[in-house]
Amino acid sequence: MNLEKLLNPRSVAIVGATEKPGFGGDTTRNYLQFSKDLDHLYLVNPRGGELFGRKAYTSLAEIPEDVDMVILCTPEKTILGLLEEAAAKNCGGAVVFASGYGEVGAEGKIKEQLLIETANKLGIAIMGPNCGGFANYGLGRVAFAFLMEDRERAGNIGLVSQSGQIALSGLDTMHYGFSYVISSGNSCNVSVEEYLEFLVDDDGTKVVCAYMESVKKPAALARLLDKAARKKKPVVLLKTGRSTKSQELAASHTGALSGSDKVLRAMFKRYGVIEADDIEEMYSLALTFSTATSLPKGDRIVYMNVSGGEAGVTADLVDDFKLPLAEYNPETKAKLQSLVPSYGSVNNPFDMTAGIGYNTPAMVEAMEAISADENVDAICIDYTITPQIWDQTIAYMVKAVSIVREKETMKPVFWLPFVSHSRHVESIESLAAAGVPMLPTGLYGCRVLRKVLDFANFEYQPFTPSMVAPVGQTAKALSEVDSLCFLEKHGVVIPPQATAANTEEAMAQAKILGYPLSAKVDSPDILHKSDVGGVKLNIRNDAELCAAFDAIMESCTKAKPDAMIHGVLLKPMLELGAEMIIGVNNDKDFGPMIVVGMGGVFVELLHDVQMRPAPVNHQEAMEMLEQLVSYPLLTGYRGSQPKNVQALADLLVSISQMASQCADQIKELDINPVFVTQDGVSIADALLIVYEDGQ
Amino acid sequence: MNLEKLLNPRSVAIVGATEKPGFGGDTTRNYLQFSKDLDHLYLVNPRGGELFGRKAYTSLAEIPEDVDMVILCTPEKTILGLLEEAAAKNCGGAVVFASGYGEVGAEGKIKEQLLIETANKLGIAIMGPNCGGFANYGLGRVAFAFLMEDRERAGNIGLVSQSGQIALSGLDTMHYGFSYVISSGNSCNVSVEEYLEFLVDDDGTKVVCAYMESVKKPAALARLLDKAARKKKPVVLLKTGRSTKSQELAASHTGALSGSDKVLRAMFKRYGVIEADDIEEMYSLALTFSTATSLPKGDRIVYMNVSGGEAGVTADLVDDFKLPLAEYNPETKAKLQSLVPSYGSVNNPFDMTAGIGYNTPAMVEAMEAISADENVDAICIDYTITPQIWDQTIAYMVKAVSIVREKETMKPVFWLPFVSHSRHVESIESLAAAGVPMLPTGLYGCRVLRKVLDFANFEYQPFTPSMVAPVGQTAKALSEVDSLCFLEKHGVVIPPQATAANTEEAMAQAKILGYPLSAKVDSPDILHKSDVGGVKLNIRNDAELCAAFDAIMESCTKAKPDAMIHGVLLKPMLELGAEMIIGVNNDKDFGPMIVVGMGGVFVELLHDVQMRPAPVNHQEAMEMLEQLVSYPLLTGYRGSQPKNVQALADLLVSISQMASQCADQIKELDINPVFVTQDGVSIADALLIVYEDGQ
């Protein structure tokens, strides 16, 4: 759907305009107060006459020019007719505030479907229904039903919100500047993903920000996130659904069933999306990217305080959020020492003392010295800015920051206050003009800073998920031997194995494989082999082998008389090592995901797993392993031999490539365990579930 | 030190008073502007004349009455003389702003020592030196050097801060009301602990709040925390030192070496102290306790929203902070369903919709129904309050809350906003008047709420730590057998054991103990027995026993020719089970601490341990175990037999009692492992370190 006429309209009509309070009145008043180009605004009210001193047209047809976009403030039952009238004026977009659609049950869903069909037929992009409207602050089009304060809101944050209330939270807060604010409502024929892509493409939008409850178009989401990542345009998303309860609420709120939340977050990670965990954090992240004129090249920061106490608090906070403290080179340290009084000490966090904090030129010198240090990536000033300036320190410091930021070479500067309240407006504006973001307080501020640094240092490797329709609707489990053969056929290295239908074949294979061996029943109908006596280990010679063969066949035939039993699967006994679990899950939305974790309590009790969309390359595979809590157990923990993690990473790569290539066939894969030794890796067991026609 | 004249002075003199800016001028101006009873205020300046239209006395001696407290705005070199003069006026307290003491190195430390001696001799309690002063808002005494806004600050929060800047953060923020604000500076002859105890005792202080860098008087701290816990007066502490860096900074800032941070936090837990992790959280916690007229009896809360989006965000947040969602009983649900429109659904978080949110009487009905539900402990309204009210919903909701809170039976109500900015003053005041705390936003708000609920539901069992001076200065390790005998002698159950000096004795003991047995070298000089071939397991008969005896003696004699070897220690082989580690560490500040964790990766990699001051009772021991991440492994994890955790808790109790009784003897105890089986517990090995004279 083309959003040009909806979001960037030249001519606009408000249908249902009135001077009375309510949707029509509030929207008209807002539009007149906050918008530009009022010459091409038309108020429509069947009674005609004058409204707000302007002519009121009795219908859309009466308007003397084409109407790009209509704002419909009228009830549900009028909407279809008005869209037909609008289409006659070459209209391409409509804001529909009316409720009574998909959000109110079965009958409403039918009405919404009819709305979609009509709008699609007429070529009209609908915002809503059941939405709060939108603003294009660049062009000056404010089509909101919300009442709000008269204040400049133009800026570079592009916001889409599935909740009007959450959009309003941003509009109601000082200091945020927006390119677009879109309250998408039911998103009937324009999806949230389409708005997001519009904002990724829009040059006036520096940071894209969204509140989302569900993903309706996974492929579109992946495409737009790829586009944003290539441009390195930050995308800040607050996606509810971490908890079961919020998934339930989203289902009842928007009617959309959400896919796996964990899968979605693995996708976000893959594209470098900045995830916010609540509304405050979402807006703070957006504000930080909006204000910062450059981002740090690393995460080594010097924190500057004017209080020993606040320096101590900062030290604890940055440690909590794994923000590394920059270490000065000796020249920087000497320079700073010359600027503080004799009792001051140069540390990081750096208590500047009054010697620097109350002295703008000294602070300029200090910041320039710190910025010039190759061990420093950024500076963060930690000081509360009060609503009125009683403490002149604030003014001295703000002035110093403004001065140093005039230099092109100055590294990025952030500001972190300790107490939350409104702040001295001129100081905030000076800092914003100097490209210095105001972080939220303490814990929030450090969370935001950590996420901003992660984004700044994220190296995107372009990615398109393997989203392929499966070949069949139903799925079946393959036997161990078939699963392993499937893996081998698709480039995954598996240990030697052979099947034997009788004891003679078994002894012949044993000659090739070599003792000691393991033997397991080979049957597509027996998945839990140990439970039916289908496994024998440590077979050392032909006699033991024959006895094992017979015992397995007898026990399994007895336990599962109907099972088709091909014989036994023989393998040399593997060298034991760290036991890892590798899995593939072909997500309905985003295709195959690869998962890895260490067996035992790590996966089962601690849920210590890493997931990524397939395929992954070697570096990504290593990152997955390194991010496991259990990773130290692989690298020579407490004197044990380091395991071959490179080989494990290679295995992850080959499995992920297979999963990606065979996305139409594989439903699930469970490799449990993989033994990782000093020398390499070996798959001890595998269970593959394929779509029925997919072998 | 008696703090009465310092903190509650009737008559006050400001020495160094002037009309010029600076310490003397700012302090005088503050005092005149913010204080009461100015008839008993005396300004002192050697030049005499008039200041601010008042008589200026040329010296303290000239003042016509006794002076309870002096505020010294003069430099370090004048202080001792002024204290002598003050003493002559029966002065009992002095605020010393001057710096140049302990904070500036060795020479300053000597000056500070002299100040302490002089003040002690004269019986004057000193606030500072190097402090920001204090205020007693109840009596109206404001002795601050800080410049600040003219605003009412009287209330019930008692604050002590080792940092002037952090005290100022609270003074500078709207809506906080204080009984006392004390910037303690170097705390030369009045410790932070003494101020805290004063506030715990003070009836005008409802919540005690402190920023601390170090503990100088551990016994005093324990005593005052016990007193506060018995009164159930909340103590909110922000103690830096979570990170190594902040411990370093505190050492250089106040010169105090901090004890073990983990021990201190275990003490805080024991006394139900509410720990804050940053400044914003400290003040928010204080404000919440300050405002709440009652606290919930449990943690089952109903969260009321007026936005599906915000309800979803709330669901994720409360899940993050383990805040359980109350479940309505059917009558409540039916009642609420009757209040929302047909499309609304009754959930928790509860999206009230416009049906309730825009309708004060409906909201009153809804809140009363929820409050009457026995499955609900409190209500939390989640809605942002903007600086101006554009959205009338806020007004409707605030009104409803004010109405319901007039009923005595109404359960506690909290308010959680989503975006951080200054808020509509009248709404905030209405809510405060209704005893409804305004939490900080989102994540912060839920953290604060979780901590408030933990305090509200904390059941204190009075406790005095076993802080006993050790009998000796040096310490020595006991052998395994001696360690175990020590434990047994002090009431800890140990498995059967016997020592044997030769094979005959060994065989005789084996008859009593029964095979299979383990044998270990018995020597006080050999701590790592396995390393020298000093351990044999699974000995099944006399022949194996004799062989093992000889092998152990030969191997150990060879490896450690100088060791005194008593023979071997024999024990029946223990039934293996979950391996736990129990330890005792006799902390220099707070006496014996008991520690428990599961052996292997849980203690070593995940640092999954629980620590408490000894002794603990059975319930506390169970809580320690339940709070371990590894706890599910003890209770029948994935079909395994549940272990006897009650027996493990009993063992913890007996060890903690021993540690407490023998606090003068035990330096450290390391029991590794303890096997916990289905049937019980058994100590497999123990290493006790005792003070030299302490056996």
**Which one is the CATH code of A578-691: 3.90.600.10, 3.40.1030.10, 3.90.650.10, 3.30.470.20?**
3.30.470.20
Chain A hits for B163, Cβ within 8 Å: 307-310, 312
Q: What is the pLDDT of residue B269?
A: 95
Is B448 at the interface with chain A, CB within 8 A?
Answer: no
Q: Please, what sign has the CA dihedral across residues A296, A301, A306, A307?
A: positive
- Range scoring the smallest mean pLDDT among A645-654, B335-344, B454-463: B335-344
pLDDT band at A252 (very low <50, low <70, confident <90, very high): low
Confidence at B260, pLDDT banded by 50, 70, 90: confident
Is any Cβ of chain A less than 8 angstroms from the Cβ of B637?
Answer: yes
Which of B212-216, B256-260, B415-419, B564-568 shows the lowest per-residue confidence on average (mean pLDDT)? Answer: B256-260
DSSP letters spanning A180-198: EEEE-TT-SSS-HHHHHHH
Mean confidence (pLDDT) of chain A:
94
Q: Among B280, B308, B601, whose Cβ lies nearest the Cβ of A442?
A: B280
Beta pairing class for B301-305 and B378-382: parallel
Q: What is the pLDDT of residue B252?
A: 65
Residues of chain B with pLDDT > 90: what percent?
Answer: 84
Are A149 and B388 within 8 A, CB to CB? yes
CB-nearest partner of A419 from B169, B311, B638? B169
Rounded Cα–Cα distance for residues A561 and B149 (Å): 88
Q: What is the mean pLDDT of residues B204-232?
A: 96
> Is residue A175 helix, strand or coil?
coil
Q: Please check the confidence at residue B256 and state whether its pLDDT lies above 70.
A: no
- Residue B351 near residue B339 (C-beta atoms within 8 A): no
Residue A315: which of B149, B249, B390 has the nearest Cβ? B249
- B526: Cβ contacts below 8 Å, ≥ 6 apart: B479, B532, B534, B556, B560, B563, B565
Is A388 part of the contact surface with chain B (CB cutoff 8 Å)? yes
Q: Helix %, strand %, coil % for chain A, to 5?
A: 40, 20, 40
User: Could A629 and B103 be called an inter-chain contact, meaning their C-beta atoms sit closer than 8 Å?
Assistant: no
Regarding predicted confidence, which is higher, B47 or B256? B47
* Dist CA A246 CA A258 (whole Å): 10
Share of chain A above pLDDT 90, in %: 84
Cβ separation A307–B163 shorter than 8 A: yes
Tokens of A271: 């594209």
Q: Which of A148, A238, A245 to mutate to test the interface with B (most CBs of B within 10 A)?
A: A245
Instruction: Name the pLDDT band for A301 (thresholds 50, 70, 90).
Output: very high
B309 CB near a chain A CB, below 8 Å? yes
- Residue A210 tokens, joined: 């969204």
Please identify, in words, the CATH class of the domain defined by B1-132.
alpha beta
- pLDDT of B254 strictly over 60: no
Chain B: give the shortest CA distance to residue A444, in Å.
8
* DSSP state string for B316-351: HHHHHTT-PBP---HHHHHHHHHHS-TT----SSEE
B276: chain A residues, CB-CB within 8 Å = none
Closest partner residue to B283 (CB to CB) among A146, A242, A419 is A419
The pLDDT assigned to A175 comes to: 86
Q: Is B357 on the interface with A (CB under 8 A)?
A: no
Q: How far is B259 from chain A (nearest CA, A)?
A: 16
- The pLDDT value recorded for residue B693 is 67
Average pLDDT (B571-579) is 90
Q: Look at B421 and A173 and tell me if their CB atoms are within 8 Å.
A: yes
Distance between CA atoms of B386 and B422, rounded to whole angstroms?
7
Chains A & B: contacts with CB separation below 8 Å? 278
Amino acid letter at B459?
A: E
Give me the pLDDT at residue B694, please.
44
CATH of domain B295-456: 3.40.50.261
Tens digits of per-residue pLDDT, A340-365?
Answer: 988 788 999 999 998 999 999 999 99
Residue B646 has pLDDT above 80, yes or no: yes
Contacts of A553 (CB under 8 A, 6+ apart): A521, A565, A567, A568
Q: Could you give the CA distance from residue A267 to residue A229 in angstroms, rounded to a whole number?
A: 12
Q: How confident is the model at residue B695 (pLDDT cuts 50, 70, 90)?
A: very low
Architecture of domain A148-291: 3-Layer(aba) Sandwich (3.40)
Residue A582 in this model has a pLDDT that exceeds 80: yes
- Any chain A CB within 8 A of the CB of B252? yes
Residues 107-126 of B with CB under 8 A from A: 108
Chain B contact probe: residue of A316, A320, A383, A385 with most B CBs at under 10 A? A316
For residue B610, what are its two tokens?
């629980």
Q: Does A252 touch chain B (CB under 8 A)?
A: yes
Asked if the C-beta of A504 comes within 8 angstroms of chain B's C-beta atoms, the answer is no
| Residue keyed to tokens 């230099």 | A407
Query: Which pLDDT does position A448 carry in this prediction?
Result: 98
> Are A12 and A41 spatial neighbours (Cβ–Cβ below 8 Å)?
yes
- Spell out which residues of chain B touch residue A238, defining contact as CB-CB under 8 Å: 313
Closest CB from B162, B243, B313 relative to A278: B313
Comparing C-alpha atoms, which of B237, B239, B258 is closest to residue B247? B258
Q: What is the pLDDT of residues B10-63, one digit of tens each?
A: 999 999 999 998 889 999 999 999 999 999 999 999 999 999 999 999 999 999
Phi, psi of B287 (to 5 degrees): -65, -40
End-to-end CA distance of chain A: 39
Q: Which residues of B touch A149 (CB under 8 A)?
A: 388, 390
Residue B253 confidence class, pLDDT cut points 50, 70, 90: low
Structure tokens at B323: 């805040």
- What is the Cα–Cα distance from B142 to B237, expressed in whole angstroms? 24
The whole-number pLDDT of residue B88 equals 97
Find, among A399, A418, A1, A414, the residue nearest to A195 by Cα: A1
Here the tokens at position A667 are 């439903």
With an 8 Å Cβ cutoff, is A445 touching chain B? no
Nearest to B274 by CA among B465, B452, B437, B412: B452
- Assess contact for B159 and B286: CB atoms under 8 A: yes
Residues 324-343 of B with CB under 8 A from A: 325, 342-343
- Could you state, in order of their start, the residue ranges of all structural domains in chain A? 1-132, 148-291, 295-456, 496-572, 578-691
Residue A298, pLDDT score = 97
CA–CA gap between residue A416 and residue A404 (Å, rounded): 18
Chain B residues whose CB is inside 8 A of the A397 CB are none
A chain contacts of residue B319, beta-carbon cutoff 8 Å: 242-246
Q: What CATH number has the domain spanning B496-572?
A: 3.30.1490.20
Instruction: Look at B419 and A280 and tell me if their CB atoms are within 8 Å.
Output: yes
Q: Is the pLDDT of residue A527 over 90?
A: no
Q: What is the DSSP letter of B438?
A: B
Of A165, A250, A318, the CB nearest to B310: A165
Task: Give the integer Cα–Cα distance in Å for A8 and B581.
Answer: 68
Of the pLDDT bands very low, low, confident and very high (cuts 50, 70, 90), residue B468 is confident
Supply the Cα-derived Rg of chain B in whole angstroms. 32
Q: Is the pLDDT of residue B196 over 50?
A: yes
- State how far the Cα of A345 lies from the Cα of A336, in Å rounded to an integer: 9
> Could you give the residue ranges of the DSSP H alpha helices within A440-599?
442-456, 480-489, 503-513, 542-559
Sequence-distant (6+) residues with CB within 8 A of A107 are none
- The B residues from 142 to 201 touching A (CB cutoff 8 Å) are 146-149, 161-166, 168-170, 172-174
Nearest CB partner across the interface for B246, out of A245, A316, A601: A316
| Most B CBs within 10 Å, among A149, A279, A307, to test the B interface | A279
Q: Which residues have CB under 8 Å from A408's CB, separation 6+?
A: none
Q: What does the pLDDT average to over B283-300?
A: 97
d(CA B463, nearest CA chain A) in Å = 29
Instruction: Give the bridge partners for B670, in sequence order.
Output: B583, B687
- Please report residues of A whose CB lies closer than 8 A to that of B168: 391
pLDDT tens sequence across B137-164: 999 999 998 888 888 999 999 999 999 9
Rounded to an integer, what distance in angstroms lies between the CA atom of residue B475 and that of residue B692? 5
DSSP string, A47-69: T-SEETTEEEESSGGGSSS--SE
Tell me whether B97 touches chain A (CB under 8 Å): no
Phi, psi dihedrals of residue A678, rounded to the nearest 5°? -55, -35
Q: CA A690 to CA B652: how far, in whole Å?
A: 52
Mind listing the pLDDT tens digit for each residue in A41-84? Answer: 999 999 999 999 999 999 999 999 999 999 999 999 999 999 99
For residues A686 and A670, the answer to whether their CB atoms sit within 8 Å is yes
Longest CA span, chain B: 106
pLDDT at B507: 95
Instruction: Give yes or no for residue A470 having a pLDDT over 90.
Output: no
The verdict on B310 touching A (C-beta cutoff 8 Å) is: yes
Q: Are strands B591-598 and B133-136 parallel, antiparallel or unpaired?
A: unpaired
- Identify from B242, B249, B438, B449 which residue to disrupt to test chain A contact, counting A C-beta atoms within 10 A and taking the largest count: B249
Find residue B477's DSSP bridge partners. B689
Instruction: State the best of A169, A261, A342, A439 to mutate against chain B, taking most chain B CBs within 10 Å.
Output: A169
Q: What Rg, from alpha-carbon coordinates, does chain A have?
A: 32
pLDDT band at A694 (very low <50, low <70, confident <90, very high): very low
Hey, is the C-beta of B387 within 8 angstroms of any chain A C-beta?
A: yes
Please state the rounded mean pLDDT for residues A289-306. Answer: 97
Residue count (chain B): 695
pLDDT in tens, B438-449: 999 999 999 999
Tell me if chain A has a CB within 8 Å of the CB of B633: yes
A277 and B320 within 8 Å at the Cβ level: the answer is yes
Two domains, one topology: B1-132 and B496-572: no
Interval A96-105: pLDDT, tens: 999 999 888 8
pLDDT at B387: 86
A629 vs B contacts (CB less than 8 Å): 605-606
> What secondary structure does DSSP assign to A65-109, as a single string?
S--SEEEE-S-GGGHHHHHHHHHHTT--EEEE----SGGG-HHHH
pLDDT over threshold 50, residue A695: no
